[in-house]
Structure 1
């Protein structure tokens, strides 16, 4: 499977053995992504090929994270002393392949954000301000 960052500078191919993924709720991931959780899939480092080496930052005394310095896309997480790493599900070109199998670091979980199925849903094309901006900038709506 292929994936990469938002601007396209960093691209990867990953030989995923399964569709297993999980949501991490740890405070380190929350701070690193600015979100209440992040969807990851675990993979052996040897099964990830980077077309362009990502930028890395040390996010804690025990871990580092690949990202793109140009667009800011979070691409994953790793313990440097491990042969495995996590890639962000949303950085794959087709993230729909993956299925969440468990939650991790539940001590930091924000329960109110887990089941949002009762909230109103608004499609992008139903927001005239956004549609106008996209059409003016590109002549079309985003994929």
Structure 2
């Protein structure tokens, strides 16, 4: 049974409500996505366009002759990917308010995959509040750490 999930951009100017039917997500490693997001890969949730309602219409960038990408021009958040001639689109997993339910089930665009970034198990780990430079700035600006 589909679950109603919400999400949006960092500044909250663009918000969406989506009907999500399963937990499957995927990682895209193609050069188009790498350049559009500034990352080595991006996590996406494929969803029907009819299953997404935008509270405020996102800005759209024509990233190639075959694709467009919703984003927020105010804060720069990447919100997804779509072929204009398709009934489906991809929403960025991190744009969901609670992305924890999604599980990666496949890789796409593996011709551009940076394998060294896939298995980071064993690297040193630090929580945000453990970094004194970050913690000091958050506490001075807001009185505490963000959620």
**TM class, shorter-length:** over 0.9
Aligned partners of 2:129, 2:30: CA distance in 1, in Å? 34
Deviation at 1:134, TM superposition (A): 0.3
Deviation at 1:125, TM superposition (A): 1.1
Structure 2: 5+ residue runs without aligned partners? none
- Pick aligned residue for 2:111 from 82, 101, 107: 107
Runs of 4+ more than 6 Å apart: none
Match of 2:54 in 1: 50
Match of 1:64 in 2: 68
The answer to whether the aligner puts 1:10 opposite 2:10 as a matched pair is no
The answer to whether the aligner puts 1:36 opposite 2:40 as a matched pair is yes
Deviation at 1:118, TM superposition (A): 1.3
TM-score (norm 2): 0.96
Aligned partners of 1:42, 1:72: CA distance in 2, in Å? 21
- Pick aligned residue for 1:25 from 23, 29, 32: 29
* Number of matched pairs: 143
